[in-house]
Amino acid sequence: MPNTFNFSCQCRTLKGTVELPDMRSLTRLVCYCEDCQAYARHLKPSEPVLGPHGGTDFVQVSPAHFHIKRGMEKLGNLRLSESGLYRWHATCCNTPLCNTPPNPSMPFVGLITNNLVCNQSTLANKVGPVRLGVCAGSQYPISADWPVARNFGFKALTRTLLNIGRWRIAGDHTRSTLIDAETGKPVIEPYTLNETERKELYTTA
């Protein structure tokens, strides 16, 4: 039986579900990279998305298992740069939801766990605990209950790529709520930050 979780934006206008059928193979990690922090600074959600040391808690799931059920009209898509990830969020309350890669043949959703409607212990029991912290950059080393790495790391990358490969073979890239199967384009045209906006974000302490 798959684990099905509800998720929603902070004001609960945008809602959906995510199935985590093979949770033991999924990767849950905290990303400390500059981009995730800049993104949170740009959106300014009322409930902070960043945890201690500016980390964002993600679980990597297949797009075939990620469904938006309500509030699709409030879905926004933002890129920090021309080559950046699609950063999906709810425009009603500026909640960051998930990231997807720009390459449509890569079935992958990095879902921010804060949006799952469950408490931390349920999350740890059903999804699994955080396995590691990645991209710690200048803030490395960070004290946490799990290993924190300066980069993404070979192990985490291998695990992620294996999952993406598995989902690709299953055809999950054609079953995404976020990417049009015919065109391979995102269902919402992304807004890309301009140089001035980027400068402001990355120079903010």
Q: Which residues make up the interface to Zn ion (CB under 5 A)?
A: 9, 11, 13, 31, 33, 36, 90, 92-93
* Shortest distance, position 19 Cβ to Zn ion, whole Å: 22
Nearer to Zn ion, 7 or 64 (CB): 7
3-state DSSP helix/strand/coil % of the chain, to nearest 5: 30, 25, 40
**Residues 13, 68 contacting (CB under 8 angstroms):** no
Nearer to Zn ion, 64 or 89 (CB): 89
Nearer to Zn ion, 46 or 121 (CB): 46
**Residues 160, 62 contacting (CB under 8 angstroms):** no
Nearer to Zn ion, 21 or 132 (CB): 132
* Shortest distance, position 90 Cβ to Zn ion, whole Å: 4
* Shortest distance, position 182 Cβ to Zn ion, whole Å: 29
Q: In whole angstroms, how far apart are CA 152 and each of 138, 155, 156, 157, 186?
A: 14, 8, 7, 6, 25
**Residues 66, 179 contacting (CB under 8 angstroms):** no
Nearer to Zn ion, 90 or 201 (CB): 90
Radius of gyration of the CA atoms of the chain, in A: 16
Q: Is 135 left (phi over 0), alpha (psi -120 to 50) or beta?
A: left
* Shortest distance, position 47 Cβ to Zn ion, whole Å: 11
* Shortest distance, position 1 Cβ to Zn ion, whole Å: 30
